[in-house]
Amino acid sequence: MSIPQIFIDGNTGTTGMLIRERLLTRRDIELISLDDQQRKDLKYRRDALYASDVAFLCLPDEIAKQAASIAEKSNTKLIDASTAHRTDDRWVYGFAEFKAGQREAIMSAKRISNPGCYATGVIGILAPLIKAGLLPVDYPFTINAISGYSGGGKSLIARYESEDAENYKPDPFWQYGLSLNHKHLAEITCQLGLVHPPIFQPSVANYAQGMLVNVPLVLWQIDGKPTARSLHEILLAHYSNSCFVRVASFNETENLQELNPQALNGTNMMEIFVLSDDNTRRTVITARLDNLGKGSSGAAIQNMNLLLGMPENTSIVI
């Protein structure tokens, strides 16, 4: 049996570089590499796409669409890390823990769209609760989140890590997506089947990676009057067999003094915490993950492993 050939189209960006770094030590696959001149040449890229069993598209949206079009008549399976196909129902959404049958859908897919980092946290929190009927799809959801600056790509990384950064000292905390139209909103709204786009306010902190995604809920306002414990039970049951998503116990959550957004850095884990005040029936559900792990490159490798019929956690830190 031949060794699967893997091509990373766009391996100079953050996600592509991390995928490559994690795959370089593996002996059960073989990486197709292009030098700097070749990767800028459409002919070499086309040949590499057609020669690979699985190709990662770590590219800007329009170039990812172009690459997908080029590979359309090939037998190559694509994992797109861009935003380009996350609302396209011809592409399988690459969040294996999303819902029943999703893992199997990924395993048999030819085209997979890798989720966004913020979207992974939001969908990880809300999908099981909506599916169980505890939360309505027309609820006015709000999302508050904070991430390391690596989630902003090369330009933002350069802003924080350039030689000039010490001179102007970037703020330790700043907000973006101020138009309320962040690029992950369409993905979140589509994949969850929401009637209204949520209000989403992401923020960036002065550290490289790691994120917290917070979804506040006013439980007394929701029909059926769910409790924090009923929400927790659904989440716990949904992720009971997952090796990459962990739901913290009520006891653990009640004893929390803080939540460090960097605690899962370097892993493909996501943790979910149900914070609540029973007296006022208010709840905040928080997802913690590495935006470069479960939020991008780790999830992409998890999807590749599923496509190739390999153990899901191969070369992935839990």
Burial class (CB in 10 A: 0-12, 13-18, 19+), 45: buried
Mark whether 117 is an active-site residue.
yes
What tokens appear for 168 in the block? 């102007």
The b-or-e profile of 163-181 (16+ CB within 10 A means b, else e) is eeeeeeebeeeeeebeeee
Own/partner pairs, 82-88, CB within 8 angstroms, 24+ separation: 82/57, 82/58, 83/116, 83/183, 83/184, 83/187, 84/57, 84/113, 85/111, 85/113, 86/113, 86/115, 86/116, 86/119, 86/186, 86/187, 86/190, 86/191, 87/186, 87/187, 87/190, 87/191, 88/113
How far is Cα 151 from Cα 124, in angstroms, rounded to an integer? 18
From the candidates 58, 117, 190, 243, give the one annotated as an active-site residue.
Answer: 117
How far is Cα 224 from Cα 156, in angstroms, rounded to an integer? 44
* Alpha helix positions (H), the chain: 14-23, 42-51, 61-70, 102-107, 117-131, 153-161, 165-168, 185-192, 228-238, 250-254, 298-307
Cβ–Cβ < 8 Å for 179, 231: no
Instruction: List residues bridging with 275 in a β-sheet.
Output: 284
Q: Which residues contact 241 (CB under 8 A, 6 or more apart)?
A: none
Question: Looking at the annotation, which residues are catalytic?
Answer: 117
